[in-house]
Amino acid sequence: MRLAAVFLTTVLAAQEKPPEKITLPTAEADLARGKALYLGSCTYCHGPTGDGGKGANLARPELARAKTDGDLVRIIETGIPGTEMPGAWHMVRRELLQTAAFVRTLGKVEVTPVPGDAARGKALYDKHGCATCHTVKQGNAFAGGLMGPDLSAIGLRRSAAHLRESLVNPGASLPEDFVNTVVILKSGKTVSGRRLGEDTFSVLLRDAAGNNHVFSRSGVREVKRIRGESPMPSYQDKLSASELDDLICHLASLKEAQ
């Protein structure tokens, strides 16, 4: 409950800000400072040229969630609640504007389309049973399993390179909130699954069947995180090179923001 309350407060706080009209700096010195700030705080997820990795691809002429400069500055400042995109609370106003100005320069590139055929990729998605573990939004309905992350907007969230890695070597780049966790209770019972949240009083876990468990800290002996291991099978040997391209092309086309 505490976790839900904290999450809700963050969402409400983010929505309360009125839209703002903003002019980004264009001077060379500001862009150079923006670049240094970007390299320090953002490359870990977005890559030095913005073409993604764990983070969204920023090397595009238009950013889905940051269409206006005002949106861009706000996203950098407060992050995107409920995702891995953190807020740069450590930056002062001027630094936020400089970073945003540099991010806009990353978008001045020619976009290389993801090779492959999205329709064939969709058929492969169905054929290989991805939906047993993943949900994709279809119109107003969500269809699919709950064990893996929701893929409705995976094309916005992740670069093609990250998608490829997820399929070929799932353990290599686990999403932060997807670390396999084992809770060992004082009674000796163990439950494993995906960690949904943790605070001073409780641990929240979702098991492979999609059931949520809340454990009170007082009953927990140990919480173990198993990094580098994914419950998702590798598709390296199950898909040919061109099938892999098709599937990545399909995933890259999923952009249903919620």
Q: Which is nearer to ligand HEC, 116 or 148 (by Cβ)?
A: 148
Q: Which is nearer to ligand HEC, 160 or 203 (by Cβ)?
A: 160
Whether the CB-CB separation of 170 and 230 falls below 8 Å is answered with yes
Q: Is 196 exposed, middle or buried (0-12, 13-18, 19+ CB in 10 A)?
A: middle
Q: Which is nearer to ligand HEC, 222 or 229 (by Cβ)?
A: 229
Which of these, 78, 60, 65, lies nearest to 258 by C-alpha position? 65
The site for ligand HEC (CB under 6 A) is made up of 38, 41-42, 44-46, 54-56, 58, 63-66, 72, 75-76, 80, 83-86, 88, 99, 103, 125, 128-130, 132-134, 147-149, 154, 156-158, 163, 166-167, 170, 174-175, 178, 230-232, 235, 247, 251
Q: Which is nearer to ligand HEC, 181 or 230 (by Cβ)?
A: 230
Pairing relationship of beta strands 212-216 and 202-206 according to DSSP bridges: antiparallel
Task: Give me the least distance between CB of 9 and ligand HEC, in Å please.
Answer: 20
The torsion region of residue 8 among left (phi > 0), alpha (psi -120 to 50) and beta comes to alpha
Q: Which is nearer to ligand HEC, 42 or 114 (by Cβ)?
A: 42
Q: Which is nearer to ligand HEC, 119 or 217 (by Cβ)?
A: 119
Task: Give me the least distance between CB of 16 and ligand HEC, in Å please.
Answer: 20
Does an H or E element contain 225, and which? strand 220-226
Task: Give me the least distance between CB of 108 and ligand HEC, in Å please.
Answer: 15
Task: Give me the least distance between CB of 243 and ligand HEC, in Å please.
Answer: 10
Reading the block at residue 38, the tokens are: 């970007």
Strands across the sheet with 202-206, in order?
212-216, 202-206, 190-198, 180-185, 220-226
Task: Give me the least distance between CB of 187 and ligand HEC, in Å please.
Answer: 27
Q: What is d(CA 14, CA 9) in angstroms, rounded to the nearest whole number?
A: 8
Helix (H, G, I), strand (E, B) or coil at 197: strand
Task: Give me the least distance between CB of 257 and ligand HEC, in Å please.
Answer: 7
Reading the block at residue 143, the tokens are: 């269809």
